[in-house]
Structure 1
Amino acid sequence: MISISGQRQFQAWQDKVLPPVEEVRPGVWSIPVPFINNPMRYTLSYLLVGDGAAALVDPGWDSDEGWAVLNAGLAVAGLRPADVTGIVVTHLHPDHLGMAARLRAASGAWVALGANEPLPSHWRSEPARFLAEDRAQYTQWGVPQDFLDEVTFHRDAWAQMTNLAVPQLRLADGALLPVAGLAVRVLATPGHTPGHICLVDEANSLILTGDHVLPRITPHVSLEAQTQLDPLGDYLNSLEIMGAGADMEVLPAHEYRFRGLPHRVAELREHTLERSLEVIAVLDAGSAETVWDVSKQLTWSRGFDSLRGFTLRLALAETASHLVYLAARGREVEIEVSRGTPTPATP
């Protein structure tokens, strides 16, 4: 079993309120930043204070409300945005990287991502092409016409991604964060995204897990990134290396702090493999011809028909990742899961 170490965070999660700013260890602060209009409610940013330098890990979703909360949290730690010298982001998603551009503008801090995290240039330079590719993919996966608009990206929904900060640094597996007075090591954990990283602070017996390992929720692993051929296989392999933090307190990017990393890793692995067995059962039944068909026959907490919008999108992409995982391991999968040919982009 895991044991909850962040009791105040846990209570806040139960009460559906923002948790307090906390000093987890001397010079290590947990600062929640609101995740606007999302059931996850907030991202747990971590401030790591060194010698005349400070890094903020996962600054959170970009909003005026979040910026005010982040400023207030830094003030509790005795710092201002201008005192932040580095911004480390565990992965590309906008609830982690979104605030980086605003914080960099206020501080001049460098922004760092994992060495293998993709940042396709046409997200900015060719948005019409990106949106066309996205729609083609979900059309190929069998999404009915009536649902395409709600599961695919639109210009306004993609604004958080196109405004993301371009990183000044790339962090390789095993590298130390370039922050004076700290000895925090990068651990490459692809799966949730191709270049997801965790951070190991051996001096404080802490491991910052981003979205790779959360205490209650199974991280979403999907077939979306163009550079990731087998995201589920990557994720399972990345779980295997989490022994580096076996005895450490876990600082995830959502929910609350906990101990018992090996137990939680085992749970996540078991859940993931059980899901693949469920996909195999659907394939064996022989009635599914598309990713949509498979998804409809899987077990979802509130039923498939309850999935709408972005949640439905994630469910389909997760299903596709299981199909690719099985095919890569010799299972015959006749359902088309490769990305579709994009329709011509309009200016």
Structure 2
Amino acid sequence: MTQVYDHGGGVRSLRVPIPDNPLGHTLVYLLDTDRGPVLIDTGWDDPDSWDTLAAGLTACGTSPEEIHGVVITHHHPDHHGLSGRVREASGAWVAMHEADGAIVRRTRQTRAERWFTYMTAKLEAAGAPESHIAPLRATRPRALPGLSPALPDREIVPGELLALPGRRLRAVWTPGHTPGHVCLHLEEEHPARLPGHGRLFSGDHLLPEITPHIGLYEDPDDATVTDPLGDYLDSLERVGRLAPAEVLPAHQHAFTDAASRVRELLAHHEDRLTGLLVLLAEPLTPWQLAERMEWNRPWAQIPYGSRNIAVSEAEAHLRRLVKLGRAEAVTGSEPVTYVAV
């Protein structure tokens, strides 16, 4: 069933399904411009998702062939997956922040077996048990979802208005969930005259009821020690200062009072960091820390792939604690363990 919602002022959202994912769908936004309709994100590259997107565009009085441009909040496949197919149908340009564009280029050049080797080494370093790593050693390289994403042909420059005739859409760089994540601030009066400054297409950066995954920025060929959680917390404060009248996220539903949600998320992460320091009263590897952290279900019930994501999130929190001087690596430990300072 096609689900389209009119947010007013030439903005509509389409619920594009994500196959086999508890999130259910991505909210793809259709923005009217003087040059034609523009999409903000496109959804997962899947036949049902494409059919839903096409049907939603038809319900809005347009079609994939009429799309003028595609603006991507970040490179993840539930946002960028269908961009190439939209461009093939319409000749639309595709825009993305350079940091995520670099990931797209690297992903297209990386063979599947390289990722298996990299993930095996990462999990070994994190202290994962051999029972978890063994399937990666045994798996034969194959095509993986999202390994051939569309190359963007325009760069989103933070702080600049996008070239959308008749609209004022400004890019706000919000790294954390990905290094090149952007929110898009529609600097126009809210159609219902809600108090605040325009509307914010927030991607996965700011969601009404869930906390986006903050893991490590994975790059097999780059040994730079990044701080994704620190990036995210700084980005949250930047968005809070915008004080939009309404937030239009990529999942769940639209909401108001962005500043309150920002405060909740900042408090959540501070509480979590404080809780991790209690766990780190004894030296723990990232895997051991992930096992002891609080998730939405007991560790024993977390699926295999989700455990990899959880360990990445544990490592991101560890990096933040180390950078703040609240934890440190134990000299000589192998795999490396960390302890509160």
TM-score over 0.5 (shorter chain): yes
- 1:267 and 2:264 are equivalent in the alignment: yes
Match of residue 312, structure 1, among 307, 313, 317: 307
Contact 1:87 1:110 in 2 (8 A): yes
1:167-209, Cα deviation, whole Å (9 max, x unpaired): 1011111121222211100000000110100000121421100
Contact 1:194 1:228 in 2 (8 A): no
* SS in structure 1 of the partner of residue 177 of structure 2: coil
Give the aligned partner of residue 119 of structure 1: 103
| CA distance, structure 2, for counterparts of residue 317 and residue 183 of structure 1 | 37
1:1-347 map, 5 Å = 20-117=3-100, 118-119=102-103, 121-127=105-111, 128-148=113-133, 155-156=141-142, 159-203=144-188, 204=190, 205-226=198-219, 229-284=226-281, 286-288=282-284, 290-334=285-329
Counterpart amino acid of 1:80? S
1:223-257, Cα deviation, whole Å (9 max, x unpaired): 13336700000000001111344241110000011
Contact 2:105 2:151 in 1 (8 A): no
User: Deviation at 1:295?
Assistant: 1.1
1:3-33, Cα deviation, whole Å (9 max, x unpaired): xxxxxxxxxxxxxxx7820110131110110
Contact 1:53 1:84 in 2 (8 A): yes
* SS in structure 1 of the partner of residue 260 of structure 2: helix
Counterpart amino acid of 1:123? T
* SS in structure 2 of the partner of residue 59 of structure 1: coil
User: Deviation at 1:287?
Assistant: 4.3
* SS in structure 1 of the partner of residue 209 of structure 2: coil
TM-score (norm 2): 0.87
| CA distance, structure 1, for counterparts of residue 140 and residue 301 of structure 2 | 22
| CA distance, structure 2, for counterparts of residue 130 and residue 317 of structure 1 | 15
Counterpart amino acid of 2:184? L
Contact 1:85 1:108 in 2 (8 A): yes
User: Deviation at 1:34?
Assistant: 0.4
Runs (5+) with no aligned partner, structure 2: 191-197, 336-341
| CA distance, structure 2, for counterparts of residue 159 and residue 211 of structure 1 | 22
TM-score (norm 1): 0.86
1:291-313, Cα deviation, whole Å (9 max, x unpaired): 11111122223211111222211
1:313-336, Cα deviation, whole Å (9 max, x unpaired): 111110000000111112332169
* SS in structure 1 of the partner of residue 229 of structure 2: helix
| CA distance, structure 1, for counterparts of residue 330 and residue 77 of structure 2 | 31
- Name which of structure 1's ranges 56-65 and 290-299 shifts more when overlaid on structure 2: 290-299
Contact 1:53 1:180 in 2 (8 A): no
How many residues are matched?
317
Query: Could you say if the C-alpha distance between residues 201 and 151 of structure 1 is closer, same or farther in structure 2, counting changes exceeding 3 Å?
Result: farther
- Name which of structure 1's ranges 275-284 and 231-240 shifts more when overlaid on structure 2: 275-284
* SS in structure 2 of the partner of residue 45 of structure 1: strand
User: Deviation at 1:151?
Assistant: 8.0
Counterpart amino acid of 1:292? W
1:146-181, Cα deviation, whole Å (9 max, x unpaired): 11266899755x633212101101111112122221
Counterpart amino acid of 2:110? E
Identity of aligned residues (%): 36
| CA distance, structure 2, for counterparts of residue 321 and residue 296 of structure 1 | 15
User: Deviation at 1:76?
Assistant: 1.4
* SS in structure 2 of the partner of residue 51 of structure 1: coil
Query: Could you say if the C-alpha distance between residues 171 and 151 of structure 1 is closer, same or farther in structure 2, counting changes exceeding 3 Å?
Result: farther
Contact 1:151 1:309 in 2 (8 A): no
- For the aligned residues, what is the CA RMSD? 2.1
Query: Could you say if the C-alpha distance between residues 276 and 282 of structure 1 is closer, same or farther in structure 2, counting changes exceeding 3 Å?
Result: same
